[in-house]
Amino acid sequence: MALVSIVIPLHNKAGYIYQTLESVRSQILTDWEAIVVENGSTDGSAQIVQDYGDRHSEPRLRLVTSPRNGVGAARNFGLTLASGPWVQFLDADDLLLPDHLSQLLATAATHPAATVIAGSWQEFPDAHPDRRSLKHPTPLEVLGDASIAFPPWAVHAAIVRRELLTTDHLWPEPLDHIPSGEDIAFWFVLIQAATVAYSTNASALYRVEMPQSRTQSRNASRWFAGIHTALQWNVNHLSRLGRAPNATQCRALMQVYCDLYTLAQQQGDRSTQQKALPEATLWLDNYFRVARERAIAIPLSQWVRHWLGLGLFLSLNQQRSRLQFRRNSS
């Protein structure tokens, strides 16, 4: 049994999977298994993996085929084959520095109760791999709330105890075809049940600005449809737990809808603006209902006005007034 099971979903990454496998084999920690889950590739990606394993006579590398399409389905299938107590999810176009697993496990050793160990990561443009920018995970003190609307870290910046990945905490396959949606939903649900510890390393390398990336095309309409579905998934999860979004979660939800509104505005997409604005207004209104004390509500109002600008802030307030009028009239 390996100490870490690395699950790699594979779909048309012929130009990248070799580098990814090289980064796995370069790990200082050698007690790992890599499960590459072929997921409908048409570019010869699977053959590259097969040839790689044969060339290096690598018994730790397995190539399997997912019975269902979708990245979440592929990850979940890989989990059924994982043997290690820790699971590392790794996309087929991303990389790990040699000390990645050893550093995360060193943190795990000093935090024995932790079920998720996460660290910082470095983003780099596909065309310029030497241009790296350091990114940090969501601060622990707001992690459980902010993750309702924003992914807390890059997928491969964390390892997860396999015992935590039960039926209730698998990748949400209904969201498989939504850009970034499955990340938001998976991590939020998992974090509600996890004990998280942070490592000081930044050994996960995240490739961005790729020609065919699922998250590259920032089309406002497509992003609204996807993100809106993921956020509803998370709100529904809280409801199943008998909870409603708290004030900080309402603020995070409002912020992401405002981001979508701004993106649609920049792209001249009035239809998406008209969808995003009522959602942003709804969560702003929910914040003021949840945070009843004036000492909390006023600073947020000032923050919203400063952050959004006067025009959008006034639009939100107009929407709030309409909602309150309808509520009072009903």
pLDDT of residue 289: 85
Query: For residues 284 and 320, is the Cβ–Cβ distance under 8 A?
Result: yes
What pLDDT is stored for residue 217 in this prediction? 56
pTM: 0.88
Greatest mean pLDDT among 43-47, 177-181, 260-264 lies in: 43-47
287/244 Cα distance (integer angstroms): 11
**For the chain, how far is it from start to end, CA to CA, in angstroms?**
62
What are the structural domains of the chain?
Answer: 4-208 (3.90.550.10), 220-329 (no CATH)
Q: Concatenated DSSP letters for 20-37?
A: HHHHHHT-S---EEEEEE
Q: What angle do CA 161, 167, 170 make, to 5 degrees?
A: 65
Confidence of residue 325 (pLDDT cuts 50, 70, 90): very low
Q: Tell me what pLDDT residue 181 has.
A: 84
Q: What are the Cα distances from residue 41, in Å, to 14, 55, 95, 137, 172? A: 9, 21, 20, 31, 21
Tens-place pLDDT, residues 196-226: 999 999 999 999 987 665 544 578 998 898 8
Q: What whole-number distance in Å separates Cα of residue 267 and Cα of residue 246?
A: 32
Which pLDDT belongs to residue 281? Answer: 87
115-166 confidence digits (pLDDT tens): 999 999 999 999 999 999 999 999 999 999 999 999 999 999 999 999 999 9
Number of Cβ within 10 Å of residue 184's Cβ equals 26
